[in-house]
Amino acid sequence: MDKMDKARRLLSGSATSAFAALFMVGAIAFGSTVIRPMTINHEPEATTAQADDGSASTDGATEQGGYTHDGDQAGTDGKSGVEVEQDYPEWKPADEPKDEPQAEPKDEPRAEPKDEPKYEPKPDPAPSGPMTLQASFNADKGKIVVKWTAFGGDFEKYKLVRSWDATVTWPEGEGDTLVGAFGPDGMYFLDYDAPCNDEVHYRVFAVRHGEEGYVVLGSSNVDGALRECSNEPPAEPKAMGFDLMQVEGGVKLVWEQCSSEEFAVYKVVRSATNANPLYPLNDGTELIAAIGDSGTTMFFDSNVEPGQTWTYRILSLGSNGDGWFVLGLTDAKTITVE
């Protein structure tokens, strides 16, 4: 009995020591952040005879409640001499994270830059020869005639200016008056409104429109002339023959030519309400034509409709410093359009 009790106590102490050793090893491993797996061996039990002095030896295994712990390393707990085997698996680094394939950025089509229009300054106008202007009094016409030579550069209009003195500018200065604006083909002017018996001066300018108004590109010399006028009052108007008829599409007017040297223009007037139409225009009268050629003695009025009644008259006019005056006139004649 004594031997059996000793053996029980010895086994009990050995088991306690073995568990204590395992706890210490586990604590050390856990403190080092390495947890070692424990293998459970289900092999049949194998033990050696226990010595009477309380010591026992093992053959590569330790019996603990029917479980055997195998390991690559072995040791003793320092008390019972029981070997404790631990298994330390080989450390392997964690798998490197795999690089996820990234979508290649798509090349967005780039908008082609628009070509900005380049500023190209306009070339200077072609050089021009001198513009020559001549003003003279025409006794047959009783008017001042102004003529000038062409401007050879690039321009839009001629501006003709009349002045009381020899300093003629455009835009107009003191004493200057713009008497006419002409296209590039216009190089002739009859000044009906020039004052009588006073010398006036003329100058023509070639201009082109710019951002801030017209720009002068060239100008002529200054020339003067005097319009000779009689101080006597105009003679009484002369009667002019006149015929009126309806034709296809309208009314035809034919009159006698004016033979006066002071002729300036024919004025054709009509009225639907006034039986005595005149010029300057009186009540109910309208001007339907102005003809500056004394040899033109016919006019066709197409602005009529059937059922209308019109009264017509033709006047031949002259002009002086005081304005228009009547040289001759026709009788007033009436017609109803059918």
Write the CB contacts of 148 (distance below 8 Å, at least 6 apart in sequence): 131, 132, 133, 134, 158, 187, 204, 220
Cis peptide before 171 (omega within 30 of 0): yes
What pLDDT score does 204 carry? 96
Q: Checking DSSP bridges between strand 250-255 and strand 309-320, what pairing results, if any?
A: unpaired
What pLDDT score does 51 carry? 40
Burial class (CB in 10 A: 0-12, 13-18, 19+), 269: buried
The CA distance from 230 to 24, in Å, is 150
The CA distance from 311 to 16, in Å, is 151
Find out whether 38 and 29 touch, Cβ atoms under 8 Å. no
Token pair 């330790």 is at which residue?
62
The CA distance from 57 to 10, in Å, is 12
CA distances from 101 to 84, 106, 108, 141, 283 (A): 50, 15, 21, 102, 98
What pLDDT score does 321 carry? 58
Write the CB contacts of 300 (distance below 8 Å, at least 6 apart in sequence): 247, 249, 250, 251, 252, 253
The C-alpha angle with vertex 20 and arms to 51 and 92, in degrees rounded to 5, equals 115
- Strand spans (E) along the chain: 133-138, 143-148, 157-163, 176-182, 188-191, 199-210, 213-219, 223-226, 238-240, 242-247, 250-255, 265-271, 285-291, 298-301, 309-320, 323-330, 333-336
The CA distance from 320 to 269, in Å, is 22
What pLDDT score does 167 carry? 92
Paired residues of 68 in beta bridges: 41
pLDDT tens track, the chain, 338 positions: 555 565 556 545 555 555 555 556 554 444 444 444 454 444 444 444 444 444 444 444 344 444 444 444 444 444 445 555 555 556 566 566 566 666 665 666 666 666 655 545 444 444 445 799 999 998 777 789 999 999 988 899 999 999 999 999 988 989 999 998 899 988 999 887 888 888 999 999 999 988 878 899 999 999 999 988 766 666 789 999 999 999 999 999 999 999 998 899 999 999 999 999 999 889 999 999 999 999 999 999 999 999 999 999 999 998 765 678 899 999 999 999 99
The CA distance from 279 to 244, in Å, is 19
The CA distance from 229 to 198, in Å, is 10
Domains in the chain with CATH codes: 1-89 (no CATH), 133-226 (2.60.40.10), 238-336 (2.60.40.10)
The CA distance from 243 to 300, in Å, is 12
What pLDDT score does 94 carry? 58
**Three-state secondary-structure class, residue 11:** helix
Cα radius of gyration (the chain): 65
